[in-house]
């Protein structure tokens, strides 16, 4: 079992910024491509961003391109999502995911999920 723990959620005003973190599995963190997904109230979970194990490849949903940045620090076993210019429609529970293959639509292979962290963007 791969344990993922998200943090950094909260309430932020529209136009503001927030950074999410995801603490990944210790020595095996670099074995995984990683990603962020979100689930808004009453909607399905959707892809936000993904990053390869080395950090050299990144992918974003069209809705967040130019506003969100995914990154990882393999020395700290941590994944990040920097969110800028936040909009009320970004309000959701954000989930960290670990898998085998990052791509433009998500994470492939055997995917592990964190418990999620709530982000609320007030207008």
Q: What is the pLDDT of residues 23-76, one digit of tens each?
A: 998 888 999 999 999 999 999 999 999 999 999 999 999 999 999 999 999 999
| Rounded percentage of the chain residues whose pLDDT exceeds 90 | 93
Q: CA–CA distance from 50 to each of 60, 64, 67 (Å)?
A: 7, 12, 14
Mean pLDDT value of segment 107-113: 92
Q: Number of H helices and number of E strands within the chain?
A: 0, 13
What's the chain's average pLDDT?
96
């Amino acid at each position: 079992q791969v344990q993922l723990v998200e943090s950094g959620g909260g309430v932020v005003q529209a136009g503001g910024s927030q950074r999410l973190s995801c603490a990944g599995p210790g020595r095996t963190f670099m074995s995984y491509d990683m990603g962020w997904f979100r689930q808004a109230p009453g909607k399905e979970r959707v892809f936000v961003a993904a990053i390869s194990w080395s950090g050299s490849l990144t992918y974003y949903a069209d809705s967040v391109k130019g506003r969100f940045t995914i990154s990882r620090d393999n020395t700290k076993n941590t994944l990040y999502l920097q969110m800028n210019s936040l909009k009320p429609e970004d309000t959701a529970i954000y989930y960290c995911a670990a898998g085998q293959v990052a791509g433009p639509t998500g994470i492939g292979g055997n995917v592990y999920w964190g418990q999620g962290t709530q982000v609320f963007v007030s207008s």
